[in-house]
Structure 1
Amino acid sequence: MSEVTVRKQRPKHLAINEIRLPLPGIVSILHRVSGAGLFLLLPFLLYLLDRSLGSPESFATFEAVVGHPLVKLILIGLLWAFLHHFCAGIRFLLLDLHKGLELQAARNSSRIVLVVSIALTVIIGVKLW
């Protein structure tokens, strides 16, 4: 008998643009990114809190800073980051309690986290804008 060796075509490089992450993986990565963003922008939030509570003059500075459209967009992004981090955190706590570990339940809870965080961001953002 002759042995036939089959050589598989293996990629020479990792094509990151071809990798498709499942929805629970995307929610997990967004949870980490939102947590890092909230942590890194904490000095900005503390500055805004200081300006809003210091004196009437510093409150006028706060109003001027927050009134700028770019700052409003940053604050809406922070609002989304907080809401997503909160909703995903609840999801991960439930996963730690072994609730929703099945594939379909994990996908559904990921969809719920994305929909709820975006919906709450839109609702609160419209009210605050």
Structure 2
Amino acid sequence: MDKPPHRLPVFLNLAQIRFPIGAIASIAHRVSGVLLFIALPVLAALLHASLRSEADFASVRGLLSSPLSLVVAGVLAWALAHHVLAGIRHLLMDVGIGSELERARASARLILVAAPALALLLLVWGLS
């Protein structure tokens, strides 16, 4: 009874793997969903704190006026825009609309461009 030859573990370098555009859009959809899920209780707690009193409102407003808060708001705006747009894309593909390979690739590219643009628009609108 011969033993099978010993094989060394294979190291997968994810930076060298070229993902299809649809996979990138799908992975980003999952990442955006996780970010929104994590942010929801934090945002609810901030809303609750801001409604308790005038002093708490001022405290939350001061917290949200920092440059780091602007970056976090930008990431969350992207997550919301991407998750909604990619979700609509997935729903349409589930019913057979745009599921052909070229249309699926085109819609994935569109989502990856439109979501940051929409996030920037949401951020600028929110700051004005």
Instruction: Map 1:1-129; keep pairs closer than 5 Å.
Output: 12-129=10-127
How many residue pairs end up in the alignment? Answer: 119
Query: Which amino acid in 1 is paired with 2:99?
Result: L
Structure-2 separation of matches of 1:12 and 1:49: 48
Structure-2 separation of matches of 1:53 and 1:81: 25
- Where does structure 1 differ by over 6 angstroms across 4 or more consecutive aligned residues? none
Structure-2 separation of matches of 1:77 and 1:12: 34
The root-mean-square deviation of aligned C-alpha atoms, in Å, is 1.6
Give me the TM-score of the superposition, normalised by structure 1: 0.84
Give me the TM-score of the superposition, normalised by structure 2: 0.85
Secondary structure of the 2:99 match is coil
Partner of 1:5: none
Please say which structure displays the higher CA radius of gyration. Answer: 1
Query: Which amino acid in 2 is paired with 1:31?
Result: H
